[in-house]
Structure 1
Amino acid sequence: MDVTNPGKAAQFWVKLVGIVTALAGVYFVGGGAWLAWLGGSWYFVVAGLLLLISGVLLTRKRLSGAVFYGIAFVFSVIWSLWDVGLQFWPLFSRLFAPAAGAVLIAFTVPLLTKERGARLFSVTIGVLLAVAVVSSFISSFQPKGIIRNADVQSKADEAHDVAPNSGPKDWQAWAGDTKGSRFSTLSDITPDNVKDLKVAWTAHTGEAVVPDKGDAEDQNTPLQVGDSLFVCTAYTSLISYDIDSGKEKWRYTAGRGNSTYQRCRGIGYFDATRAKNVVEPGKSLDTTVSPQRLFFPTGDGRLVAIDAHTGKPAANFGDNGIVDLKIGMGEVKPGYYQQSSAPLVAGNVVIVGGRVIDNFETNEPPGVVRAYDAVTGKLVWAWDPGNPAVTREPLSPEGYTRGTPNVWVGMSYDADLGMVYLPTGNATPDFFGGERREGDEKYSSSIVAVNVSTGRPVWNFQTVHHDIWDFDATGTPLLYDIKNDDGSVTPALAETSKTGMIYLLDRRNGKPVAPIEERPVPQGNLPGERYSPTQPYSSMPGIGNETLKESDMWGATPFDQLMCRIRFKSSRYEGIFTPPGLDMALQYPGSLGGINWGGVSVDPTTNLMFVNDLRLGLYYKMVAAKDIPPGQGTSEGMGWIVQKGLPYGSLRERLMSPLGVPCQAPPFGTMSAIDLKTQKLVWQIPVGTVQDTGPLGIPVGLQMPLGMPTLGPSLATRSGLLFFAGTQDFYLRAFNSHTGAEVWKSRLPVGSQSGPITYRSEKTGKQYVVIFAGGSPHSAERGDDIIAYALPE
C-alpha cells in the first residue's frame, strides 16, 4: 500500500475522521447488541463492527479504512432497502448521514494514497455520492406519501346540489352551524383566484398568552354576526371588532379565572327574535332585553350572557348576566372544572358540558351536561351520567354524581329530530378502571343522543369499551345527510376518536351506517383491573392507527433511530388497545390522538369529509401508588401521574427519539378526505413542515413537508377550497378540496390552533377569511393577532 506523508493539518483531519467513525462504530455495536438481545435487528451490530474497524484503520492512515467504510455503506444500503423498500423518509433516515459520511471519506482517500487510480476512483465516487446526497436533500422539500385514489373520487352528481352563495353569509356558531359542518357556500374566493388573497386588516387582542405562566393557550374560533366579529381570549376577555376594518367596538373582561387550564375555544350566539322555543313549543320568547346575545364561558366555571351590540351583561340572564356553573357540582377545587369548548345554542336553550381535570384523583367534579334557558338563565334540564333519576337539580346535597364521564368537546344539534349529540370522555382518572361504576361504563367514550327539550338520552353508542387509555370521543359530531342511490336520504352522524377511527352512524337511532365489528383485543393482568374482551372497529378508513413494527421506527439519524428501536423492542406492544400494566408498554395512537378536538369539515357538493390528525405515540407503565416519588404527579399529562384514590398512578412519556422527534416514520400529521357515501379514502396529504420546529425543539428553518402533528379545525367552501392553520409551522394554507393540492399559503406571525372562518360583508360585498393566531403548543412564540384576508379590489 502506498501511503502519503501528509502535513500536520491533513494528518489531524484523517485522525479526526477516523476517531468519529470509530466512535460511531462503538455506539452502533453497543446499542445494536442491546437491540439484538431484545430480539431486534442485527444490522447495527454488523454495521458498527465495520465502522469500528474502519475508524481504527483511518486513525492509522490506512487506505483499507476507507474500504471498510465503503463495505459498511453498501451493507447499509442493502439492509435499508430490505427493511423499508423505497419509502423516501425511512430511507432518508437510514442513509442520508451514512452517505454524507461516505462523501467525506471519499474525499479523504487522496490523503491516504499516492496511487492515481485510487484517488481518481474515490473522488469520482465522492462526487456521485455528493450529487445523490444533494439530490435527496432537494427532494426532501417535495411532499412524500401523498395518497390520491382517483377510482373513488366523489362525483358531484352523486352528492348534494348546493348553489354558490346560497347559505348563510355569517358565521354564527363555532362550526358555522349546529351540525359541525364547518362549511360555507360563499364562493367568491376560488382555487383559481385564491393566489391573490391578501391581508385586508389585522387586529390585536392585547392579551397574548405569557408562556410558562399557567397552562394557557389561545385556541379561539371567532364568531361573526352582521358587522361584528367576536373573539374570546384565554384570559377571559370577549371583544367585538368591525368586520371590515378590524377596529375594536367593545370589550368585556370577566377576570382571569384560573391558572391551571386557560382556554376559550369559542362562544355561543343567540337571537331571541328568530329562535324556536324547544322547551315550550309555540310560546313566544322575551325579546325586550338583549335579544341578540353571546354566551361566554369563563375559566372559573361561569357562563356569562353578553349583549352582542353593547358588550354589557344581559341583565335578565341569571344574576345580572351570569350563571354560576359550579352550583350543584359539590366541591370544585380551583382549576378542576371549566368549559373548554363553545356552549351549544339549540333553539332557546344554551347547553354546556365541562372539562374536568384529568388524572389527579378520584371523586373529581361531575360530568353533568346542563341546559339553561337562553333568555332567563334558568336551569331547564340536567343529564347526570351517574344517576338517570336526575332531570334538573341534583338529588343529593353533595351534588351531581362525581367522577362521571364528561363532555369537554363541542356538541351538535339537529333541530328537525330535536336531538343534541354529546361526545363523552372516560371517567377520571383515565388509566385505571377497576373501580368504575355502571354509569361510568355505559356512557364513557361514547356518543350520547339526548332530547333537546328534556335532556333524556334517546340512544348512545360507545366507541371504546372500558376505556383505560384516555381514548375520548373527540370531535364535534358531524351531522350529514347521505343521498342513497335509490333516492332516499340517510341522516348520518360521523364521529372521530383518539384511536384514529371514524364511526358513521344513523343519527336517528345510533345504528351503524358503515359496518362496525367487535374484535377480540389483548387482555391485561394488572391486579384489580378488568378488561373488555372486544372493541368496536369501524370499517371507515383509519387515520394514523396502523400497527407499528420495529422497521417503522424512525429518527433524524440512524443514531436516534437505534434508540427508538430499543424503546420499541423493550416495551410491550399489541396494537391500538395494548392494555396498561406494571411493565413498560407502547400506546399508538397515544392519548393525544389520533384525532383530537378540532373535529372535521365537510363539502356536501362532493360528499367529502376532511379530517386532520396527529400521530404521537406514548410509552408508559402503571406504578403502585406507594412507589411514586414524593412530590411527583403534579401534571395531568406526561411524567408522573398520581391518580390519588386509586392503587396505581402511572409514568408516561411521548414516544420520541433522543433528538425530540417522533419515533415512528413520517408523516406525523396529515389531512385526509373521506367520501361519506362510498366510505373510502379519496386523498391524504402530509401537512406542515419543520420550518418552525425541529430536533431538540430548535426550529430547522426549512420547509421540509414531513407532515407534522396538527391541532385545530379546518374550513371547507363551496368553491372547492379547504383552509387550515393548525400545523406546527406558522402558516394559513388553502388546499384544493377535490385533490388535496396546496394552492395558497400565508405566513403567520406565530402558530395557530384556531379554526378559520369566512363571511361576506353587507357593507363592502367582500368575502373575508379570518384566522386567530395566538401560538402553538410546540413553540414558546405567542401572539394576539386576528388576521382578515380578502381579494384585492
Structure 2
Amino acid sequence: MLQVTAGGTAAASRWASIGISRIHALLLAIFGLALAGPATALARVGGSPWYMLAALVSLVTAVLVWRRSGRAPVVYGIFLLATLIWSVWEVGFEPWALLPRLGMPIILGLPFLAGVWPRGRRGAVLAGVGVLLLGVVWVEASAWRAEPSVPDGMGASAAVSGDWRHYGNDAGGTRFSPLGQIGPMNVAALEPAWTFRFGPSAVAAPVTLETTPLAVAGRLFLCTGDNDVIALDGDSGRQLWRFRAHADGRGVPIASCRGVAYHRQPNVAGPCAERILTATMDARLIALDASNGRPCAGFGIDGAVDLRAGLGRVDKGYYFVTSPPQIIGNRAVVGGWVVDGQYVGEPSGVVRAFDVHSGALAWAFDAGRPDRRGPPQPGEQYTPGTPNSWAPMSVDEGLGMVYVPTGNATPDYYGASRRPFDDRFSSAVVALDAATGTVRWVFQTVHHDLWDYDVASQPTLTDINGVPALIQPTKRGEIFVLDRRTGRPIAPVEERAVPRSTVPGERAAPTQPFSSGMPSFAGETLTEADMWGLTPIDQALCRAAFRRARYDGPLTPPGLDRPSLIYPGYGGGINWGGVSIDVARGIMIVNSNRVGNLVQLITRDAARRRGIVPLSVNSHGGAAGAVAQEGLPYAADLKPLISPIGVPCQKPPWGMIAAVDLQSRRLLWSRPLGTGRDSGPFGMGSQLPFTMGVPNTGGSIATASGLTFIGATHDRYLRAIETRTGCELWRGRLPAGGQATPMMFRSPRTGREFVVIAAGGHPGLGTKGGDYVIAYALPQRK
C-alpha cells in the first residue's frame, strides 16, 4: 500500500513538474515572440542587436524546456551571464538603467530554480540568476536614501515679518522665508493643522490648482483654477469671504491661477484701502477689497478692466492671464498667456501697467511698437503675434525696473516669417522702466526659438558678492546670472554652435547662448543606451524611436523628414516653479525635469488631410498633439517621448533637485526628486516607494532655519529637505497632486508658523486632481 502511495506521489510530482515546464515554456515563447517585433524594428534602424539575440534565445529555450531537455538551464544560464556582461558594459552599474535589461530575464529564469530540473543542470542558471539578482538589489541600495544630519541651528529671528506678501514672498521672487520656528531638529513632528476645500470647479475647461497663497496680518488670500478669490483665516483655515469670478472658460486649454497680488494704500482707511488684484481666464483685471472681497467700485468699470482692449481679434481661450499681477509703487503690471502654435497673428503679447486705484492704463510695452506707450489709436491695435509674457515677473523698486520673462513668438516651431522685433524680444528677459515702460535692456536666452523654450520662470533677484544680480532659470536647463542694472552676465555666457535646420526657408540661429559659468540642469546628451522601459520589449521600442528621430544634441531644430528629439522638452528643464534662494546661506535650490519630446513639421497639404486646424471655442488643447500654425507652410506634430505603456523613454531620474553655492557657483549636491509610488504603466500607481526621480511641476521655498519645502512631484508628497546637505528630513502625504509652490507664514495672534500648499493635481502631469489647501504646523503645546 505504501508502495502504491509512493508511486502515486511520484507520478503526481512528475506530472506537476511537466506542467510547470509547459507553463515556463509558454512564458518564454510569449516573451520571445513579443520581443521579436520591436527587436526587428530596432535592428532595421541600426540599433543594438542584443534584443534580437534575447528574442532568439528565449524562443530556443522555450523549445528546450517544452522537451524537458537538460540543455535548457545551461543555455539560459549562459544567456543570463552574457546579459549581465552586456548590461554593465552598456550602462555600468546605474540601478534604474539595469532594471529593464535584467529584470525580465531574471524573472523568466526563476522557474529553473523551482526543483523541476536536476541539481547538476541547475548549476549554470543558478549562478546566472544569483549574480543578476545583485542588479535588483542595486536599484534600492543605490537610490538616494537621505538620512537626517546634524543641523546648523534654528536660525530663527523673532523680529522678522511673519507675512508672505508677494508671490515669491518678496518682489524679487527669492521664495525665502526668514522664519525659523520649524527647523531640521523638529520638522519630523510637522502635522496637518487644517485643510480647506474649494469645492468643484464652475468651468468646463480642465483645471489645475497652482496657487501660492499670500499671507497678510493672519489672513490668506488665494485663487482657484477658475479664478475665484478666497480669503481664509490663517489659524483655522476658516473661509472669511469668497469672490466668485464667474469666468468664461470656453476654449481654455488648462485653467490655472498661480496667485493674486496685494496692495496697501499708505495712510488711508476705508473701502479698498487694502486691495487684492487678480486676473482671469476671460482676460479681466479685477480689484477687490481685501476686507470683504467686494469689487473696488473706482477701479475700471465695477471693479474690472477688460484686458482685451486694444488686442483686436481675440478668440475665446486664446489670451488670458495665469500669473499674479506684479505691483510696483501704484502700478500693477500684467502680461498674458497666448495659446501656442495656432495661427499667424494671434493676440499680441503686450505687457501693460495699470493704476492700482483707478485701473487706468499707465503704459504699454508693445514689442512691435516699443516707442508707443499708450493705447492704440482708433482703428489700430497692439502688434499681433508678438512674444508674450505669461510667467511671474519681478521688480526692483530701488532701480525702478520691471523684469519681464518672455515667450517665443507664435507660431512656435517655424520662424521664417518672424519679424526683427520678434527675434529681439523672444525667449528673453526684458528689463522695463517701471515709470514709463521703456526698454532698459534685453537678454535673450534662446535665439530664434524653434523649440517652445519660452522663459517660464520668474526672474529671481538677489545680491551675489555685492552685485545686484538677476538669476534667470530656463526650460533649457541653463541658468543665466546677470547684473540686473545692465543685463550683462555675471557668470560667463558663451555662444556655441548648434545643429542647423534642414527646412526650406528656415533661418535657425547658428549659435546659442550657454551659461558656462553655472551648473547646467539640462541633463547629459542622450544616446540610444539611455532609452528605458519596464521590460526589454518597451525598451526596444523606445530605442527604435530614438534611432528614427533626428537628434544631434541640444537644440536640434524641427525637420520635415522625421521627428526631431527636443531635450529637455517643452516642460523643461526648469518651468514656472523657478528657483528659491536661501538668502542667509547664499544657496540656490533648483528642481528640474529630464523628459524629452518629439517635434516634426507637416506640410500644409498633409495637415489639411489630417484635419489639423486651429483650436476652436469647443476644443481644449494641451502641450502635446498637432498644432496648425495656420498661415505658415507647415503645421507641427508634438509628442512626448514615452513608451506605448505611458512611461518616459529616457532612463530615470526624470526629476531632480539640486543646490548651488551662489558665491562660488559650485554644485553642492544633486538628488533624484520623488518616488515611483504614484507612477506606473498606463498611468497606474505602482505603490513602489523607491526613490527614482519623477516629473515635477511647481517650485520650492527656502527658510532661515535651513529647510527647503517642495511639493511639485508626480508622487503626492510635500517634502522638507535640509538645504545644506539635500537630506530629506520629512514628507507629508497629500490627498492630490501638489503642483503648486508652497509658502510659509506666522500667525500674529498665536505666533504659530505654518507651511501651506495647494493640492489640486495637474492634467498635463497626470496627477490626481483635487481642491485642497493644507496647512502644516508643529503640534500645539498643551
TM-score, length-normalised on structure 1? 0.92
Alpha-carbon distance in 2 for matches of 1:301, 1:529: 34
The corresponding residue for 1:650 is: 636
Alpha-carbon distance in 1 for matches of 2:504, 2:556: 16
Are positions 1:233 and 2:224 aligned together?
yes
| SS across alignment from 2:424 | helix
Alpha-carbon distance in 2 for matches of 1:373, 1:454: 12
Structure 1 position 14, deviation (Å):
1.0
The corresponding residue for 2:778 is: 791
The corresponding residue for 1:256 is: 247
Residue from 534, 538, 545 that aligns with 1:560: 538
Residue from 73, 79, 86 that aligns with 1:72: 79
Counterpart contact for 1:609–1:674, Cα < 8 Å: yes
The corresponding residue for 1:700 is: 686
The corresponding residue for 1:619 is: 598
Letter in 2 for 1:198: E
Alpha-carbon distance in 2 for matches of 1:164, 1:608: 19
Alpha-carbon distance in 2 for matches of 1:636, 1:787: 28
Q: How does 1:502-581 map to 2 (within 5 A)?
A: 502-539=479-516, 540-581=518-559
The corresponding residue for 2:582 is: 603
Alpha-carbon distance in 1 for matches of 2:159, 2:492: 34
Residue from 39, 44, 47 that aligns with 2:51: 44
Deviations 1:36-62 (A, max 9, x none): 332222222223322221111112211
Are positions 1:18 and 2:18 aligned together?
no
Structure 1 position 347, deviation (Å):
1.2
Structure 1 position 165, deviation (Å):
4.3
Counterpart contact for 1:103–1:126, Cα < 8 Å: no
Letter in 2 for 1:609: M
The corresponding residue for 2:382 is: 400
Counterpart contact for 1:236–1:257, Cα < 8 Å: no
Are positions 1:631 and 2:611 aligned together?
yes
Alpha-carbon distance in 1 for matches of 2:612, 2:39: 34
The corresponding residue for 2:116 is: 111
Structure 1 position 130, deviation (Å):
8.9
The corresponding residue for 2:212 is: 221
Counterpart contact for 1:480–1:491, Cα < 8 Å: yes
Alpha-carbon distance in 2 for matches of 1:130, 1:420: 58
Are positions 1:416 and 2:409 aligned together?
no
Counterpart contact for 2:255–2:281, Cα < 8 Å: yes
Alpha-carbon distance in 2 for matches of 1:647, 1:639: 18
The corresponding residue for 2:315 is: 333
Structure 1 position 679, deviation (Å):
1.2
Alpha-carbon distance in 1 for matches of 2:716, 2:730: 14
Counterpart contact for 2:81–2:128, Cα < 8 Å: no
Alpha-carbon distance in 2 for matches of 1:334, 1:721: 43
Alpha-carbon distance in 2 for matches of 1:337, 1:265: 16
Counterpart contact for 1:728–1:776, Cα < 8 Å: no
Counterpart contact for 1:411–1:476, Cα < 8 Å: yes
* Residue range with higher mean Cα deviation, 450-459 or 24-33: 24-33
* Residue range with higher mean Cα deviation, 161-170 or 239-248: 161-170
Are positions 1:84 and 2:91 aligned together?
yes
Are positions 1:715 and 2:701 aligned together?
yes
Letter in 2 for 1:47: A
Are positions 1:455 and 2:437 aligned together?
yes
Letter in 1 for 2:462: Y
Identity of aligned residues (%): 43
Alpha-carbon distance in 2 for matches of 1:162, 1:326: 48
Structure 1 position 118, deviation (Å):
3.4
Counterpart contact for 1:166–1:186, Cα < 8 Å: no
Counterpart contact for 1:619–1:653, Cα < 8 Å: yes
How many pairs are equivalent? Answer: 758
Counterpart contact for 1:693–1:779, Cα < 8 Å: no
| SS across alignment from 2:771 | strand
Are positions 1:384 and 2:389 aligned together?
no
Counterpart contact for 2:167–2:213, Cα < 8 Å: yes
| SS across alignment from 1:22 | helix
Counterpart contact for 2:73–2:125, Cα < 8 Å: no
Alpha-carbon distance in 2 for matches of 1:399, 1:414: 30
The corresponding residue for 2:327 is: 345
Structure 1 position 23, deviation (Å):
3.4
The corresponding residue for 1:677 is: 663
Structure 1 position 289, deviation (Å):
4.3
Counterpart contact for 1:268–1:296, Cα < 8 Å: yes
| SS across alignment from 2:348 | coil
Are positions 1:482 and 2:460 aligned together?
no
Residues 786/414 of structure 1: CA separation in 2 closer, same or farther (3 Å cut): same
Are positions 1:293 and 2:280 aligned together?
no
Structure 1 position 396, deviation (Å):
6.2
Counterpart contact for 1:209–1:234, Cα < 8 Å: no
Structure 1 position 22, deviation (Å):
2.8
Residues 138/598 of structure 1: CA separation in 2 closer, same or farther (3 Å cut): closer
Structure 1 position 117, deviation (Å):
3.6
Structure 1 position 19, deviation (Å):
2.5
Counterpart contact for 1:99–1:133, Cα < 8 Å: no
Are positions 1:143 and 2:129 aligned together?
no
Letter in 1 for 2:556: T
Alpha-carbon distance in 1 for matches of 2:768, 2:228: 21
Counterpart contact for 1:519–1:536, Cα < 8 Å: yes
Counterpart contact for 2:156–2:705, Cα < 8 Å: no
Alpha-carbon distance in 2 for matches of 1:199, 1:332: 44
* Structure 2 unaligned blocks of 5 or more: 1-9, 616-620
Letter in 2 for 1:306: L
Deviations 1:509-559 (A, max 9, x none): 011111111011111121121111100011111113321011111111222
Are positions 1:322 and 2:329 aligned together?
no
The corresponding residue for 1:759 is: 745
Letter in 1 for 2:256: R
Alpha-carbon distance in 1 for matches of 2:11, 2:481: 73
Structure 1 position 232, deviation (Å):
0.6
| SS across alignment from 1:776 | coil
Structure 1 position 636, deviation (Å):
4.8
Counterpart contact for 2:677–2:686, Cα < 8 Å: yes
Structure 1 position 25, deviation (Å):
2.8
Deviations 1:226-276 (A, max 9, x none): 1211121112211111111111111111113213131111101001117xx
| SS across alignment from 1:203 | strand
Alpha-carbon distance in 1 for matches of 2:364, 2:749: 42
Alpha-carbon distance in 1 for matches of 2:719, 2:656: 13
Counterpart contact for 1:170–1:225, Cα < 8 Å: yes
| SS across alignment from 1:644 | coil
Residues 163/746 of structure 1: CA separation in 2 closer, same or farther (3 Å cut): closer
Alpha-carbon distance in 2 for matches of 1:310, 1:179: 28
Counterpart contact for 2:711–2:719, Cα < 8 Å: yes
Counterpart contact for 2:96–2:139, Cα < 8 Å: no
Residues 137/603 of structure 1: CA separation in 2 closer, same or farther (3 Å cut): closer
Structure 1 position 94, deviation (Å):
1.2
Letter in 2 for 1:376: S
Are positions 1:200 and 2:189 aligned together?
no
TM-score, length-normalised on structure 2? 0.93
Alpha-carbon distance in 1 for matches of 2:450, 2:59: 46
Letter in 2 for 1:82: W
Residues 232/30 of structure 1: CA separation in 2 closer, same or farther (3 Å cut): closer
Residues 724/780 of structure 1: CA separation in 2 closer, same or farther (3 Å cut): closer
The corresponding residue for 2:674 is: 688
Counterpart contact for 1:688–1:706, Cα < 8 Å: yes
Letter in 2 for 1:51: S
The corresponding residue for 2:3 is: none
